[in-house]
Chain A
Amino acid sequence: MSDAGDGSAVAAGPGEVVLEVDGLTKRFGGLTAVEDCSFSVRSGTVTALIGPNGSGKTTVFNLITGYIRADAGRVRFDGKWIRRPDPASLSRRGMTRTFQQARVFGELTLIENLTVGVHQPWWALFRRDVPPDDRAMALEVLEEFGLAGLAEHAARELSYGQQKLLEFASSLMGRPTLILLDEPTAGVNPVMIEVMERRIRDLHQQGVSFLIVEHEMSLVMRLCDPVIVLDHGTKLAEAAPADVQRDPAVLDAYLGA
């Protein structure tokens, strides 16, 4: 973890750990969703997080990003250990996420969806709702996703796949260093999956890291390395995609009881 000399943290260099999860545990009543889960994500990678249904993948995302409070464990992002993650401050520091079911502001336009969270000082609350700079940047991002034509439409008018693209687009506004995608292709048609895949590759080339929960195995095999496998809320395996496919423990988890 390098220091910029003035005490501020600098994004992890390639190969260094950008996100580390240590001993995360979460119980819901009698059910243990996540149990002593530990893994790390290296900078500059597109890491996959896979596992059979109920293995706790989305819960892990929610714990990391602070949407749910963990019973135990901690998260390290950008060199600092965090006991109580908070999505807003994580977002400001460069970690954003999307949701399994596209979560956009239906009543707001696409541009507004992208710009509503852009960091502003408090007095900016009384200025124009979308300053020209923000608008320009938002349009640029929408362009890359092929959504610029719908910029002034309300988000609820979009198809489900378009909403997932929109959500992905909003996660880019703060120029994040690590993006957590929760089942980005679920319920999305192949054309849009292609758009997403292209964006992920482009961003990856620019140095953005990804942690992706995905069920679509062909996409995982094409795109991701390494692949982390979760089962019953804890890490089962971590390897290159081809090796994970052959791992007997992994096969057991998927095919077994």
Chain B
Amino acid sequence: MRVTRFLPSGKTYTDSLTPLTEALIGQRSVLAGIPVATLLDLFDDFGRGLLQDPGTRAMDGIAFLSAWLRRSNLEAMLRLNLGGSPEFLDGFLPVGSMKLAARPRGLVSMWMAGNVPTLPLFSIVPALLAKNVCLVKLALENDEGMIPLLTVLSQSGLLPFLAVVWFDYQYQDLNEAMSRAADTRMMWGGAPALQAISALPRQDHCTDIAFGPKYSIGLLDRKRLERSEGLESVIAAFVRDIAAFDQRACSSPQTIFVEKNSRLTLREVAELFAAQFRRLPPKPSLDFYTTVRILNARAEWAIDARRDVIASGPEADWTICMDTDVSMKEAVQSRTVFLTEIETREQILPLITPRIQSVGIAFGDPADAEAFAGRATLRGVARCVRPGLMNGFESPWDGKLVASELVRWVSFKG
């Protein structure tokens, strides 16, 4: 049996996706009949349930997910995504001389990345709100977080509208079946995964929503560094962004640029980061590959006379690498941050491409921050946000109003 299906009761096994896709397609009309207001209430309840249920309340990122699921937040997201009115999802509304409605695409096939345990919900919820049925392929068979999430979601009665599965990525026929069944394909992951999924056969009308690969950075400007007040909490917020999801999210800062200033040397700024890292609980575990990458990066920075490094100790817990080479450093992840000193923020603008997703901006003057955001987004950055908010999934994300890409806009002129 090649396909593992995740259910609240545990895992079941099957060899084909066809019965699942047929069952999901059969549920489309049922889902279409549920008013969006009811769906918003159900997700609001789901969010509260996640914080109460012992199986989910301690999961990485659950507090944010719960807050994101609040009715007020999701309603605001739909309003932004759907021309000001979520009720377009329930039927025709007058717009000028015509009537418009936002109809579901149909079946959304989702290929998830394995870096953020709660990631599937950020795709599933907008898709269900847009009244699409969902076939979700997880990245890992041992994604033990999914069963507790589904258990809580089952209380909403929404489970018939989605199927969560895992199968080995090498089963081309299963990937093809999933792709052919899709009216929209949603994919998260690195470049090889996205290229492979994009190349799968699909229906002519099928649309794609792709997330990744991306790289995120931070910027501490001169004015912010020259004022000691509040600096500690800014750096604490950066460290929270780094530590969340073990720095594997596309929004995790990898390189933080530090503008030269009259008060603090790069080493002193690094010591401020180190003080915040020391407050974190130790990492529970780490794979050999990432351990080796961390130790290699540390050694590379320690040996080089033009660079410097501060590390947690012999253990591969956290690492701060310092240099003055104005470049985006290869992401090592898992609490490894590169602090790069720059003369001026102008130096990093040429490095910014559409591959940069989020910039954590810590500026002393809000007007400077907005001016920088204007220029950085012109070069391709998707988000410029305060430290501490970098991993907060929101709409737009990666330049997309996701819910708007999950509907078909239809018109009526009677």
A and B held together in a complex: no
**Chain A residues within 8 Å of B, Cβ to Cβ:** none
